[in-house]
Structure formats: C-alpha cells, structure tokens
Chain A
Amino acid sequence: MNCPYKSDETLLDYTAGRLSPDKAATLDLHMQTCRDCAALRFEQTAVWGALDAWEPAPVSTDFNRRLWQRIDAADAAPWYQRLADSFRFGNWKPAFALTAAMLVIAAGFVLDHPRELRQPAGAEGVSTTEAEQVEQTLEDLQLLHQFDSATAAPKQM
C-alpha cells in the first residue's frame, strides 16, 4: 500500500482526538476510499478503548506524610548516607564517575612516584638496618681489638 498516512502519526493523532477538525475531516474523506487506513483506524480505536479501561490503583492516603518524613530524614542524614541514597534504584552514574575519578588520581600517583611504589613495602628499611648492624659489629670488633692490644702491652714491658 502506498498510502501516506500508514507510516506517519496522523492516524495515531486521529484516534487520540488530537487532529484539528480540518485535518480530521480530510482523513475521514480519505478513509472512505482507503480500506487499509479504515481498518487501521478501527483497530487503533479498539486499542485506545482497551487502554482507557485500565485505571490505576488509588494512592495511599499517607503518601504525603511518608514523603515529608523522608524529606526531613534526608535533610538530617550525614553526607555519606545521602551519597548512598543517591545510588538507590540503580542510579550508578555518579558511582561510575566517582570510581573513574579515583582511578585517575591513583594512576597519577603511580606515575608520579614510580620507584617508591615498585619497591616492596619495608624492603628499604630492612637493608638499612642490616647495614647498620654490620657496621656496628665491625666497630665493636675494632674496639675489642684495640682493648686487647692495650691490655697486652704492659705484659711485654
């Protein structure tokens, strides 16, 4: 079918009652000769009527009271609680942004301090202590040697 109305929103607007009287009259005329459009209008009107029948549940009478309670509680909540609340109902965009920002900061730190981070924790401390201990031992040995020399000298006299 090459009907121009079949692929645009005119028929939807027609059944929704949103066409101007002029346009509606034009479409009425068209549908007298276009069986496809007439069938489409018939079906769409049926859908429209079926949807009309669906009425939602009545709203709880304490909806406003609960909301104001939540508003008061949210105002009094600490910042981390408000942050956690903002992630409810799958609102993870801020979390992704925060994580990305933290990763960038961490990456920047790693690039800025490469040697400190590559060395195993405490490794430098251990080697410094060992060197000091060896040095101290050598000094002690030297002192002992000097002491031995000093005590041995009177015997020779």
Chain B
Amino acid sequence: MMQGVNTIIGIPSSVDLDAQLMLQVREGDDGSFAVLLEKYRNPVIHFTFRMVQDRAIAEELAQEVFLRVYRSRQTYEPTARFTTWLFRIATHLALNWLRDGKKERGQHRLDDDRDGEMPAREVPDRLPSMEQRMVYQARLQEVRDAIAKLPDKQRAAVLMHKYEEMEYSQIAGVLECSESAVKSLLFRAYESLRSQLAYMANGESK
C-alpha cells in the first residue's frame, strides 16, 4: 500500500506532501490516490457545489476532476502545488459547465435540491422558532443568489479565498493570472457582495 513519505527515494524534499503522494500514484500506487481522494473529496465537491449550486452536477464535476487526476498520473510532474493543480482542473470544469449554459438547463434542480443541503445551522437557542428558521433560510438564499450573480471568475476567486483559505498567489496559480489580477477580482467581488449582503449586519430584512 502506501509508503511513508519520508522513505520515498528520489523525490526532492521541496515537493509538497500531496505532490509526493501523486508521484507515488504515478509509480502505480493506487493507495496514495485513495489518500488524496479522501483528503480532497469534500473540498472539491464543496467548491464545485458552490460554483454550480447543484448537488448532482457538483458531484459529477468532482468525479471528472478525480478521474482526470488519475488519468494524468503517468505524465504528472510536480511543477506546482498539488492543490493548485487540483483546483485548476476543478475550476476549468466548473467554468466550462457554466459557460456552456448548462446552468440554465439545470436551473430547475436548484429548487428541487434544497433538501439536499446541510440542515440550516442552528441558532444559539435550543430550538429555533419557525420564524427564525424562515428568516435564516431566506438569508441563506440571498447569500446563494449574491454568489450566483458574481461573474464566474470572481465567484471562483471568492470561493477559493473564503472557503479554501487560499493565498492570493495560489488563487493566481489556479486561475492562471497575476496576483494583482486576483486582488482586483476579489476586490470587485466583495464590493458586489457588500452592496447586497451588508445590510445583514444590522439584523435588518431587505
């Protein structure tokens, strides 16, 4: 199965742990692929879900991401961080899906799929009232809508910045643009989000 990473011979120590696992996959070790899958399955699915806002499509895209990672094992070279490469594949697939207008075709699923989401985060009181739940759901919907309204690249940048806690340089690596371009994307994206969501800070209804 998987070797300890410290015992791997011939791999430069500067290569990150995930890239070392991927190099093991290249050598035919499917166990290392299973480790990477276990580690990044949820982040990738959550990212694609927030990009396309459809659970079934998000999982299909994530399957494609890991399938491509596996199929690229023979030619894999650790030229960048593994997560940069992984999220570059995920972002390309999600952006392609959005670009091809499949979003419109699957729009009905957005409403059908609400019950597929995590249960609403409980408010501090033991049992939230029906009204509190409704307010919470309405606000959650506004967050989803605000994210969905962002241009695709801005959305990808925000999701990586906020939920994956990526550095600007890594987001730039994923989106294949400069760090200053990423900062500009984020600046404009958060500006849009503030104009739509900042009223929530006052506990007001829109």
Contacts and interface: CB of A to CB of B under 8 A. Distances in A.
Interface of A: 7-9, 12, 16, 40, 42-51, 53-60, 63-64, 66-67, 70-71, 74, 88-91
A9 B169 CA distance: 13
A57 to B, nearest CB: 4
B190 interface: yes
Interface string B42-69: 1001100110000100110111101100
Contacts of B34: 64
Interface of B: 34, 37, 41-42, 45-46, 49-50, 55, 58-59, 61-64, 66-67, 70-71, 92-93, 96-97, 99-100, 113, 116-118, 121, 136, 139-140, 142-144, 147, 161-163, 165, 168, 183, 186-187, 190, 193-194, 197-201
A50 B187 contact: no
Given A9-B168, A45-B201, A63-B45, A56 B118 contact: yes
Given A47-B193, A53-B143, A55-B121, A67 B198 contact: no
Contacts, number: 115
Contact of B67 (A49, A71, A90): A71
A66 B140 CA distance: 31
16 contacts: A7-B187, A9-B168, A43-B198, A46-B199, A50-B139, A50-B193, A53-B140, A54-B140, A55-B118, A56-B49, A56-B58, A57-B113, A57-B118, A59-B41, A59-B45, A89-B93
Nearest to B182: A9
Contacts of B45: 56, 59, 63
User: From DSSP, what is the main secondary structure of chain B's interface residues?
Assistant: helix
Contacts of B140: 53-54
Contacts of B118: 55-58
B67 A46 contact: no
Contacts of A54: 50, 140, 143-144, 147
B149 to A, nearest CB: 14
A48 B201 CA distance: 10
A12 B198 contact: no
Nearest to A43: B198
Nearest to A88: B64
Contact of B194 (A44, A71, A90): A44
Given A9-B186, A42-B201, A89-B93, A55 B117 contact: yes
